[in-house]
C-alpha cells in the first residue's frame, strides 16, 4: 500500500522548474546528463526532454551504483557500470531521483572528478537531508522528502513499484 505525494502533473511541473535552473547554470559549457541507475530512469528521461525544450543540447550517459538491500543502505557503494563518455572539459549533471545518505552521489562525484570533468553538479527530485551520512548537497533539488520510504517514478522497494507514474510513500504493515 502507498500514499501518493507527487502526482504526474506535479512531477512535470517540478521537472520543468529544475530544467530551467540547470539551463541557467550551464554558462555555455557542453553538457553530459548522467543518470544514476536504476532509480533515475524516468527522471533522467523527463529532465533531458525538458532541457531539450529549452534549447539545451546534451549527451546522455548512465552509471550504475548499488548500496541497498531492501529499505536499508549497506553503506558500501559499488560502481557496477562506469561512465562511457569523455567528460574532460564538460559540465556533468548527475541525475538521481532521491538523495539520502549521499554515498552514491559522492562516489559519482569522485568518479567524474577523477576523469577531468570541468564541473560536476547533482540534480535530484527528492532530498532526504535527515538521512545524510556524508557531507554532500545537490545543487538542484525538486523537494524535501522527509523520512518516509518513497516508491514510484523509478524508485523501488525490492525492485517493485519503479514503474508507477507518480511518487508515493510506502506504507508497510
Which CA distances in Å does 109 have to 17, 77, 138, 165?
A: 23, 13, 11, 28
Query: Helix crossing, 41-53 with 8-25: angle to 10°?
Result: 60
For residue 16, indicate whether it is catalytic: no
Please, what's the b/e burial string for 119-154 (b: 16 or more CB within 10 A of its CB; e: otherwise)? bbbbbbbbbbeeeeeeeeebebbbeebeeebbbbbb
C-alpha cell at 102: 549521499
Choose the catalytic residue: 16, 59, 100, 130. 100
Measuring CA to CA, how many Å separate 95 from each of 1, 76, 164?
A: 27, 20, 19
Q: In terms of residues, how long is the chain?
A: 173
Is residue 94 within 8 A of residue 122, CB to CB? The reply is yes
> Nine-digit cell at 146?
522527509
Q: Which residues are catalytic?
A: 100
Amino acid at each position: 500500500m502507498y500514499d501518493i505525494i507527487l502526482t504526474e502533473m506535479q512531477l512535470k511541473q517540478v521537472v520543468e522548474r529544475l530544467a530551467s535552473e540547470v539551463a541557467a547554470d550551464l554558462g555555455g559549457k557542453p553538457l553530459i546528463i548522467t543518470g544514476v541507475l536504476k532509480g533515475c530512469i524516468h527522471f533522467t528521461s523527463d529532465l533531458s526532454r525538458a532541457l531539450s525544450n529549452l534549447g539545451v543540447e546534451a549527451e546522455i550517459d548512465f552509471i550504475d551504483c548499488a548500496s541497498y538491500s531492501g529499505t536499508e543502505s549497506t553503506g558500501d557503494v559499488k560502481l557496477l557500470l562506469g561512465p562511457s563518455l569523455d567528460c574532460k572539459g564538460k559540465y556533468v549533471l548527475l541525475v538521481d531521483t532521491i538523495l539520502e545518505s549521499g554515498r552514491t552521489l559522492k562516489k559519482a562525484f569522485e568518479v567524474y572528478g577523477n576523469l577531468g570533468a570541468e564541473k560536476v553538479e547533482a540534480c535530484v527530485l527528492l532530498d532526504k537531508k535527515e538521512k545524510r551520512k556524508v557531507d554532500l548537497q545537490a545543487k538542484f533539488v525538486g523537494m524535501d522528502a522527509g523520512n518516509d520510504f518513497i516508491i514510484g517514478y523509478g524508485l523501488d522497494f525490492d525492485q517493485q513499484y519503479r514503474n508507477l507514474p507518480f511518487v508515493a510513500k510506502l506504507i508497510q504493515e
